[in-house]
């Protein structure tokens, strides 16, 4: 059987389309390439974005904002020393961009001006930390990308 240039072009197109379809199907069905959204209900989160902007502005206007440091026991989040710790409430959310299974949220419960997140809960690498807290009826938000 003799192949002419028209048959060769058709076979090349069929091969190329098959190659592309294989990778499209493989990427969509394989658990290895599982992609996830940052948040499941991102439309609701978008509506709350102006509140977050206001909270961050409140936090920037503080004389002393939240700080963090890595200790041998874990991640230590320090709240302003000038505030009464019994009046501080809120939540700390740690988000790991590379693995949503290790994301977690914890309530703020202070006995001193710092909150310790144990080392065993954190993997080395990049984390996004979000501290949404209130003090005497005013809301604050601290967001930071950290490398632990």
On whether both 97 and 124 belong to a single domain, the answer is yes
Contact call for residues 96 and 127 (beta carbons, < 8 A): yes
Per-residue pLDDT of 50-109, as tens digits, reads 888 999 999 888 888 888 888 888 888 888 888 888 888 899 998 888 777 888 888 888
Instruction: Report the candidate in 145, 140, 144, 138 with the shortest Cα–Cα distance to residue 56.
Output: 140
The beta strand positions in 46-86, using DSSP E, are: 67-70, 74-78
On whether both 76 and 93 belong to a single domain, the answer is yes
Helix (H, G, I), strand (E, B) or coil at 56: helix
End-to-end, the C-alpha distance of the chain in Å comes to: 65
For residue 33, pLDDT over 70 is answered with no
Per-residue pLDDT of 111-142, as tens digits, reads 788 888 888 888 888 888 999 989 988 999 99
Exposed/middle/buried for 98, CB within 10 Å: 0-12, 13-18, 19+? exposed
Q: What is the DSSP letter of 38?
A: S
On whether both 64 and 135 belong to a single domain, the answer is yes
Q: Residue 13 sits in which domain range? A: 1-35
On whether both 89 and 104 belong to a single domain, the answer is yes
């Amino acid at each position: 059987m003799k192949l002419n240039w028209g048959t060769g072009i058709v076979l090349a197109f069929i091969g190329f389309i098959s190659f592309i379809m294989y990778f499209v199907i493989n990427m969509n069905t394989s658990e290895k390439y599982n992609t996830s959204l940052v948040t499941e209900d991102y439309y609701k989160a978008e509506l709350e974005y102006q509140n977050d902007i206001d909270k961050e502005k409140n936090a920037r206007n503080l004389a002393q904002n939240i700080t963090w440091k890595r200790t041998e026991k874990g991640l230590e989040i320090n709240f302003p020393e000038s505030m009464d710790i019994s009046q501080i409430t809120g939540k700390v959310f740690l988000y790991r961009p590379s693995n949503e299974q290790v994301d977690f949220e914890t309530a703020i419960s202070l006995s001193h001006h710092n909150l310790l997140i144990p080392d065993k809960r954190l993997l080395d690498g990049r984390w996004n930390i979000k501290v949404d807290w209130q003090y005497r009826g005013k809301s604050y938000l601290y967001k930071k990308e950290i490398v632990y």
